[in-house]
Amino acid sequence: MRKTKRLIVAVLTLITAMCMCGFATNTPKLNIDKRPVYARCNVSEIISDAKNNYSDTSSKYKDVEIIDAGVVKSIEKNQKTLTVKFLSTEVKVKTDQKSEVAKLSVGSNVTVYGKFDFESEKKKTISINADHLINEDVKLSYDYYLYGGKRGYSIGDSTSISLADNRIKYMIPNDWVATEAEAYDKIFNSKIYSDQTGKCYYINRVFGNAEPEVFCIFYFDNNYFLEKSGNKDKTEDIEKEIINNICPKEKDVWKGIFTFPTEESTSANGVEFDHYVANFDNYRIEFAFTPVKGINADDNGGICVVMHMYIDDSIRPDDVLYVMNSLIVSK
């Protein structure tokens, strides 16, 4: 593998340097398994659909993190199982969050974050494994939510973006559109710039924050950047080379306590991510990688590279997680 060209330099130098806030750990914030994006659903309607076609309903919803609101009808003594009524349908809800159950009582309004458990096709039984149970009467008006998030997201309020001959597709909130970077010729190298296979957003502008926060996504073309060798099949080596190229000091930590990838996660769309967190000067840079299929048999494909850059380690990356949850790549 020959050394890759420097992919992103101007993104980091265009932002005003600020004092180092320090990063407590290299734990990824973008692990979509640990910080799921919950899709608003009608539990009553889905239960009804399952009675008519259990298999299809299970296939459609078994991996989807869902959110819906109902009323508590009963709570078992172990405080691990509740019965919640969603519109006209009562459903068993299981959870390990005893402290959250303790705040509920029969008749409480409750918002349930979790996943369906399709227990038995023969009996057509369905329950919900709840990540969180919030005692509140909430009107769910958006399509997607994050637990503890400050805002929801709707497809109707989002813009669809595609890159690399439509092999990479994702949604951004509409208020991201005005934050898209200019002068891409000074941000990406000539290949990514000429092929228009990268985007960059200064998302701190969405909320009027002075401290920089940047999101980049681009397609790394294995055919162009790498020599024709067996190394192309070693995806993790390619990903590490991308990190080393952008954050040269990371070469010193591969043999240390940090492993690669730090974590892995999978979105509801089945997109599998490798995660790693690095430092560049004052910035924490979190990477998420996922392979992208080539156009044809002669095309070795490449990698979709997600980069989230910021200084303040206390930020919540809800917008970025929403975008990652929407990501679809050719596999």
32-61, pLDDT tens digit by residue? 999 999 999 999 999 999 999 999 999 999
My answer on whether omega of the bond before 261 falls inside 30° of 0, hence cis, is yes
154/145 Cα distance (integer angstroms): 9
Q: Has domain 10-36+156-329 been given CATH number 3.40.1000.10?
A: yes
Q: Residue ranges per domain, the chain?
A: 10-36+156-329, 38-145
- Three-state secondary-structure class, residue 53: coil
Name the least confident of 54-68, 146-160, 286-300: 286-300
> What pLDDT score does 84 carry?
98
Residue 24 in this model has a pLDDT that exceeds 60: no
Give CA separation, 211 vs 13, 64, 109, in Å: 14, 34, 38
Chain centroid to Cα 91, Å, comes to 28
- H/E stretch holding 245 reads helix 235-246
**What tens digit of pLDDT does each residue of 147-192 get?**
999 899 999 999 999 999 999 999 999 999 999 998 787 888 888 8
pTM of this prediction? Answer: 0.88
Mean pLDDT for the chain?
Answer: 86
Residue 22 in this model has a pLDDT that exceeds 70: no
Q: What is the DSSP letter of 182?
A: S
Name the CATH topology of 38-145: OB fold (Dihydrolipoamide Acetyltransferase, E2P) (2.40.50)
